[in-house]
Amino acid sequence: MRMCILVLGALLAGLLLGEGGVAGGPVFAQMPNPPANAGPVQPWGLPPLPQGIGPVEKFADAGNTPQGKFLEGGAFDEQGNLWFVGIGSGWISYLQPDGKLVPVVNCNPP
């Protein structure tokens, strides 16, 4: 049994230290090539958009409001409003297509 372990250890060392093995030189990660039809990286680090889709633009700024912190969910209704919950503030709000932020109810009243 001891002989089997020694032989396996020697084989493993030979594979690791041998030519073309893991220890044969530094290995660097490489980024995959982007698709030929990929555009530039969009704002906020989003991946490139498919061809035929317009650019992403910021249509409302709720960042400096209590409703804009720690957002959760996100669902559109039939009128095109985006509903979401602000976890930190407890507000259930929606964003109208024209960019107006409408707070509806606070689940964590003071």
SS3 labels along 8-56: HHHHHHHHHHCCCCHHHCCCCCCCCCCCCCCCCCCHHHCCCCCCCCCCC
Which stretch of DSSP H or E encloses residue 2?
Answer: helix 2-17
Q: What pLDDT, in 10s, does the model give residues 57-84?
A: 665 666 666 655 566 678 888 888 888 8
Residues 6+ apart with CB under 8 A from 28: none
Question: Is the pTM here over 0.75, yes or no?
Answer: no
Boundaries of every domain in the chain: 56-110
Which stretch of DSSP H or E encloses residue 71?
Answer: strand 71-76
> For the residues 10-31, what does the mean pLDDT come to?
65
